[in-house]
Structure 1
Amino acid sequence: MGELTTKVGSGSTPKGGNAVYTSVGHCFVRSQNVGMGYLILDDIAHIDDDIHQKHKATELSEDDVLLNITGASIGRTAIATKEIEGGNVNQHVCIIRANSKVSPKFLCNYIQTKKIQNYIRSLQTGGSREGLNFDQIRSFPISLPSIAEQNKIAQLLDKLNERIATQNKIIEDLKKLKSAIIEIEYTPNTKTTSHIGDVIEQISKRNKNNAIK
Structure 2
Amino acid sequence: MSEVEPWLQELLRLNDEEEKMTDKQIKIVQAAVEIFSEKGFAGSSTSEIAQKAGVAEGTIFRHYKTKKELLLSIVAPIMTKLIAPFAVKDFTKVLDAEYPSVEQFLRAIIVNRMEFARKHFAVLKIFLHEIPFHNELREQFQQTFATLVLERAYKAIRHFQAEGQIIQLPAPTTMRLIISTIVGFLVTRFLLAPNADWDEDLEIQYTIDFIMNGLALRK
Which TM-score band (shorter chain)? under 0.3
Q: Which is greater in Rg?
A: 1
Select the structure that is richer in strand.
Answer: 1
